């Protein structure tokens, strides 16, 4: 907990070839001051809020679907157990997605394109859910949506470290998870339930989710590169 950087262990990260100037861990007061300063910098940075908004909306749509998809399937006569097994497909597909998006991130000039692809595949999956009235199509939704969902947990730390550097990763990742994953995850199921109660159908909830995912697919592409707004490269 006290040694917070690879240099404190004599390691040279990120391909660095020279030893660090100092391997002495910062004092507790220095760490607290640095964390407060990092928080102030992040909250004033439009890139931070772009990442937060995109993944807040993506997680809102994701959790709305996860909580209500089985009830939706039952409306079309799909067996509850068979519908519930789709969660296993989603999980397996997400694992494959994490390997794929990690591999792709290492080979793209800007990782925002990989993030956009993952969100786009989630949107395609949500479009499939809109027309899922049989078990086969429902499983297809689970496969596609799960593969896209695999990008979410992976791309948040990749985007934050790419935009803000590894020195601010802990603070940035924690704040993004609070605003995006925490709030979005709690809002999504409620929104889905309210829409169903208002219209008597999940169709409109999936339509809203599709609109959200389509929007963030393009919004994430507005994410400025590191150095654009902080004067560093």
Asked whether residue 110 is assigned to any structural domain, the reply reads: yes
Is there a domain that residue 13 lies in? no
Q: What is the CATH number of the domain that holds 160?
A: 1.20.1250.20
Q: Is residue 232 part of a domain?
A: no
> For residue 23, what pLDDT is reported?
52
Sequence-distant (≥ 6) Cβ neighbours of residue 189 within 8 angstroms: 63, 64, 67, 68
In contact, 42 and 175? CB cutoff 8 Å: yes
Looking at the domain assignment, is residue 134 inside a domain? yes
22 within domain boundaries: no
Q: In the prediction, which pLDDT does 150 show? A: 95
Helix 183-199 and helix 203-219: axis angle, to 10°?
A: 140
User: How far is Cα 17 from Cα 36, in angstroms, rounded to an integer?
Assistant: 31
Token pair for 193? 């339930």
Q: Which residues contact 204 (CB under 8 A, 6 or more apart)?
A: 195, 198
Q: What is the pLDDT along the chain (233 residues), one digit of tens a residue?
A: 456 666 667 777 666 666 555 555 555 555 566 667 777 888 888 899 999 999 999 999 999 999 999 999 998 899 999 999 999 999 999 999 999 999 999 998 899 999 999 999 999 999 999 999 999 999 999 999 999 999 999 999 999 888 888 778 888 888 888 988 899 999 999 999 999 999 999 999 999 999 999 999 999 999 988 764 444 44
pLDDT, residue 45, reads 85
| pLDDT, position 164 | 85
**pTM for this one?**
0.83
Q: What is the pLDDT of residue 232?
A: 42
Residue 25 lies in a domain: no
- The pLDDT assigned to 17 comes to 66
Is 84 among the domain residues? yes
Which residues form the domain of 72? 45-222
Q: What is the predicted pLDDT for the residue at 167?
A: 75
Domains of the chain: total = 1
CB 124 within 8 A of CB 148: yes
Which is nearest to 49 in space by CA: 186, 201, 232, 229? 229
pLDDT on residue 16:
67
pLDDT of residue 233: 41
Would residue 11 count as lying in a domain? no
How confident is the model at residue 174, as a pLDDT? Answer: 87
């Amino acid at each position: 907990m006290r040694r917070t950087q690879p240099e404190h262990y004599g390691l040279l990260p990120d391909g660095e070839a020279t030893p660090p100037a100092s391997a002495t861990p910062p004092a507790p007061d220095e760490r607290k001051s640095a964390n407060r300063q990092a928080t102030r910098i992040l909250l004033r940075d439009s890139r931070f809020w772009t990442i937060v908004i995109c993944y807040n909306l993506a997680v809102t749509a994701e959790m709305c679907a996860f909580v209500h998809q089985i009830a939706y399937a039952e409306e079309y006569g799909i067996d509850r157990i068979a519908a519930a097994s789709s969660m296993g497909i989603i999980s397996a597909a997400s694992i494959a997605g994490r390997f794929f998006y990690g591999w792709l991130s290492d080979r793209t000039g800007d990782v925002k394109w990989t993030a956009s692809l993952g969100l786009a595949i989630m949107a395609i999956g949500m479009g499939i859910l809109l027309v899922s009235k049989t078990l086969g199509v429902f499983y297809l939704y689970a496969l596609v949506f799960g593969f896209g969902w695999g990008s979410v947990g992976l791309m948040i730390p990749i985007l934050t470290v790419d935009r803000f550097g590894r020195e601010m990763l802990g603070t940035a990742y924690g704040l993004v998870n609070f605003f995006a994953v925490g709030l979005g995850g709690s809002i999504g199921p409620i929104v889905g339930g309210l829409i169903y109660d208002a219209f008597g159908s999940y169709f409109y909830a999936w339509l809203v989710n599709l609109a959200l995912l389509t929007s963030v697919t393009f919004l994430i592409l507005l994410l400025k590169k590191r150095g654009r707004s902080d004067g560093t490269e």
